[in-house]
Amino acid sequence: MDRDVAWLLAGYRRGYFLMADDRTGALGWYRSRERALIPLDERFHCPRSLKRKLRRFQVRVNQDFAGVVAGCADRPQTWISDELQSLYWQLHQAGYAHSWETWDGDTLAGGVLGIVIGAAFIGESMFHRVTDASKVALVTLVEHLRRHNFWLFDAQLMNPHLARFGAYVISDREYSNLLAQAVQQPQRPFDQLW
Note the pLDDT tens digit of each residue in 24-81: 889 999 998 999 999 999 999 988 878 778 888 999 999 999 999 999 999 888 889 9
Residue 22 near residue 32, CB atoms below 8 Å: no
185 pLDDT exceeds 80?
Answer: yes
Section 14-29 average pLDDT: 90
Q: Which fold has domain 3-40+48-183?
A: Aminopeptidase (3.40.630)
pTM greater than the 0.75 cutoff: yes
Residue 194, pLDDT above cutoff 60: no
* Chain segment 110-161, per-residue pLDDT in tens: 999 999 999 999 999 999 999 999 999 999 999 999 999 999 999 988 888 8
pLDDT at 122: 97
Amino acid sitting at position 143: E
Q: According to the model, what pLDDT value does residue 56 have?
A: 87
Alpha helices in the chain (DSSP H): 3-13, 48-51, 65-73, 82-93, 133-147, 160-163, 172-183
**pLDDT, position 162:** 87
Strands 152-156 vs 120-128: parallel, antiparallel or unpaired: parallel
**Residue 189 — pLDDT band, cuts 50, 70, 90?**
confident
Helix (H, G, I), strand (E, B) or coil at 58: strand
**pLDDT-derived band at 193, boundaries 50, 70, 90:** low
Q: For 122-136, what is each residue's pLDDT tens digit?
A: 999 999 999 999 999
Collapsing DSSP to helix, strand or coil, 160 comes out as helix
